[in-house]
């Protein structure tokens, strides 16, 4: 199987790596639907919607700061690194389309990355539409900066940050004075138009489409592998568990991203 796939990879003109929470699981970031998944402890609607933010912005910001602290402490794993190496090996032919908001693909060295659901270290004002880059947002909300959070122990984070957080220490929008939320796409919110249209066009034009660590349940992201398949791409799934997509895949690797992707890369390098 790997030999045949390696030949396809070598002859491919455009390779898409479509990733979800599973690729960051081995970096210590809980997935959403896995056994200790984030959505099992809290429902998406409860925490990842504008309504929830309006109802209790302090609770929402505590949840996102907790995830930002987890991500700030995390390192890319061999799954992320292998994808970055594929991009170097086949320059100009590889692009990452991710649902993850953790930025670990860029940290692993991937250059062409489409962040469908935004980035957790950015800021977005839902009242006036102002967008704040990582750098600018850490000026507005210093405790949410990656370099500050990564040096905090769990007890310091819980004692000094979470416990000390109050309504009036939340980030205020310099443009309209309302509260700023995290730079992620919440349920019921549209995805960044330019990113989404790029994602659909690269998927349509792909001849090899890897679906790595995603249950492919959240729309419109979950339509990308289908669009790729319909336009003739070879679909490859890397996931220890069956998903709705498995039946449509030409190659299925029932294993973890951090093990499977480096072994495929090794195979490709050897032929
Ligand atoms: C929208 C950012 C237009 C926030 C996220 C009914 C039908 C169809 C659609 C809808 C519907 N009702 C509502 C909708 C729309 C909704 C949707 O799709 N809901 C789903 C739940 C049915 N979509 C939206 O709301 C989107 N916006 O539609 O706007 C609109 C506007 C107005 C009104 C209507 C429509 C916005 C969606 C984006 C939401 N934001 N994230 C945050 O992070 O806080 S989604 C979030 O959840 C992630 O980004 C990701 O997309 C998703 C989680 O999925 P996965 O990443 O796949 O993770 P999961 O845990 O599920 O799976 C992990 C997999 O990895 C597992 O299969 C596991 O086996 C595997 N794995 C585990 N370990 C490993 C591994 N694999 C490899 N290696 C390992 N080691
Ligand atoms: Zn604003």
Give the pLDDT confidence of 36-52 residue by residue, as tens digits: 666 666 676 688 999 99
Q: Over range 82-105, report the average pLDDT.
A: 97
pLDDT of residue 43: 73
83 lines ligand 1 (CB under 6 A): no
pLDDT of residue 33: 73
Quick one: pLDDT band at residue 1, thresholds 50, 70, 90? Answer: low
Question: Residue 172: nearest ligand to its CA?
Answer: 2
pLDDT of residue 40: 66
Give the pLDDT confidence of 2-24 residue by residue, as tens digits: 778 999 999 999 999 999 999 99
Is the pLDDT score of 34 beyond 90? Answer: no
pLDDT of residue 160: 87
Q: Choose the residue to mutate in 17, 18, 19, 20 for probing ligand 1, maximizing ligand atoms within 8 Å of C-beta.
A: 20
Active site residue 117: yes
Of residues 162 and 201, more confidence is placed in 201
Is the pLDDT score of 205 beyond 80? Answer: yes
Q: Over range 86-109, report the average pLDDT.
A: 97
How far is ligand 2, taken at its centre, from the CA of residue 216, in Å? 33
Quick one: pLDDT band at residue 31, thresholds 50, 70, 90? Answer: confident
Give the pLDDT confidence of 207-254 residue by residue, as tens digits: 999 999 999 999 999 999 999 999 999 999 999 999 999 999 999 999
Can you give the pTM of this predicted structure? 0.96
Give the pLDDT confidence of 131-141 residue by residue, as tens digits: 999 999 999 99
pLDDT of residue 36: 62
The rounded distance, in Å, linking the Cα atoms of 234 and 215 is 18
Across 79-88, 119-128, 156-165, 236-245, least confident range: 156-165
109 lines ligand 1 (CB under 6 A): no
Q: Over range 54-79, report the average pLDDT.
A: 96
% of the chain exceeding 90 in pLDDT: 89
Give the pLDDT confidence of 148-198 residue by residue, as tens digits: 999 999 999 999 899 889 999 999 999 999 999 999 999 999 999 999 999
* Ligand 1, atom 77: closest residue by C-alpha: 213
């Amino acid at each position: 199987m790997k030999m045949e796939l390696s030949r396809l990879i070598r002859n491919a003109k455009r390779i898409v790596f479509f990733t979800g929470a599973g690729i960051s699981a081995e970096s210590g970031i809980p997935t959403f639907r896995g056994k200790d998944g984030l959505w099992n402890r809290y429902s998406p609607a409860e925490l990842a919607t504008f309504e929830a933010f309006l109802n209790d912005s302090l609770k929402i910001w505590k949840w996102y700061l907790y995830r930002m602290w987890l991500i700030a402490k995390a390192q890319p794993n061999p799954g992320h690194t292998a994808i970055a190496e594929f991009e170097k090996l086949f320059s100009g032919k590889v692009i990452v389309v991710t649902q993850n908001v953790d930025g670990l693909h860029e940290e692993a060295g991937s250059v062409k990355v489409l962040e469908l659901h935004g980035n957790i270290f950015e800021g977005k004002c839902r009242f006036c539409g102002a967008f704040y880059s990582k750098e600018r947002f850490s000026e507005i909300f210093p405790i949410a900066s990656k370099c500050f959070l990564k040096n905090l122990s769990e007890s310091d984070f819980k004692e000094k940050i979470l416990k000390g957080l109050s309504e009036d220490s939340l980030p205020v929008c310099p443009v309209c004075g309302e509260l700023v939320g995290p730079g992620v796409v919440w349920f019921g919110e549209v995805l960044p138009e330019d990113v989404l249209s790029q994602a659909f066009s690269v998927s349509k034009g792909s001849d090899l489409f890897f679906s790595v660590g995603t249950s492919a349940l959240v729309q419109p992201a979950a339509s990308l592998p289908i669009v790729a398949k319909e336009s003739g791409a070879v679909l490859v799934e890397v996931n220890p568990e069956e998903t709705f997509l498995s039946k449509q895949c030409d190659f299925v690797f029932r294993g973890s991203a951090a093990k499977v992707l480096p072994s495929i890369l090794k195979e490709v390098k050897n032929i």
